[in-house]
Amino acid sequence: MKVAFGSGLAVVFLMTAGWGQSGSKDYSLTPVLHSVSYAGVWRGQTKLTTDEFLLKAKELGFTHIELMAKRPHVSPLDYDGEARKKLKARIQELGLKLVCLAGYTDFTTSADKPGIPSAEMNAVYVGELARLARDLDVPIIRVFTGYERPGVPFDTQWGIVVQGLKMAARKAAEYGVTLAVQNHHDIAIHPDATYWLIREVNEPNCKAAFDAWSPALQGINGKELADAACKMAPYMVYTTVADYVKHARYKYDATLVNYVKESDVVRAVPFGTGFIDYKSFFQALKDSGYRGYVAYEMCEVLEGGGSIENLDRTARTFLKTFADLAR
């Protein structure tokens, strides 16, 4: 099996580039660096400009990238026609390929206020991202579903998400762009629900961006996680990976003279060192013949802090671990 990388760490991966096989099935796993990893979104995290991120991705050895479609990176508010041409040319100049724009949708944002058309508003936003994607020659937009709002029937919110994704997908289709729905927000967060949602939306350019970390945080790991990946693989075009550890939390209760357990806090760690069974997840994707992208992100408080040195070290760890898992 071969996996292609750019300069920097290329010497480490001369054995790995393009198509691979697992048994009788072909698969293709392409590593991607998500710009949220250098966006200053969590305490102490280094923030790079868009151009600084492009240079960083090349330095680290990535050839494929994902850009946040919001500030501080590529917001449609800041990129007019001329700026888009310059960014596209810069990406090409550096030998990089922009494969995904990260959208930040929440289709249920006003589900508790029926007079506000949140599905339409989010669809319009996705349409603008699709126009941006077309101008930058990007095939995929990552989108979310919606956070569950209290006091609104669940099925009402589900329906809003379905309606919104349908409208957004049809708008994106006008620009030749595919939507990749990430299992990130509350609605359709369980793998079975994600599977149902994609099939209910039933638009040819609305696919899944199914991640392992989300089911793992729900207690779905090991064989159960692998089974979920096999089920989702035919609908997938994208997956984002990050790894985590859980730290137990307790709150002192004076009436008991004891500590009461609360929900664990989750912290990010280098890829392959956390509790998520990525070996089983990747094997399931390979066995299912997955051909798509594997994006790496550092979007939460990370072991070692947010210095540029630690972020770089952690990104390089991902590439090394990915090369092993993708064989």
pLDDT digits (tens, 9 = 90+) for 7-26: 344 333 333 334 344 444 59
| Integer Cα distance of 4 and 316 in angstroms | 15
CB-count exposure of residue 317 (10 Å: 0-12, 13-18, 19+):
middle
The domains of the chain, with CATH numbers, are 10-325 (3.20.20.150)
CB-count exposure of residue 224 (10 Å: 0-12, 13-18, 19+):
middle
State phi, psi for 278 to the nearest 5 degrees: -70, -25
| Integer Cα distance of 254 and 258 in angstroms | 7
Quote the pLDDT of residue 25. Answer: 57
pLDDT tens digits along 43-65: 999 999 999 999 999 999 999 99
| Integer Cα distance of 24 and 112 in angstroms | 50
pLDDT tens digits along 214-246: 999 999 999 999 999 999 999 999 999 999 999
DSSP sequence for 223-270 = HHHHHHHHHHGGGEEEEEE-EEEEEEEEEEETTTTEEEEEEEEEEEE-
Residue 27 pLDDT > 70, yes or no? yes
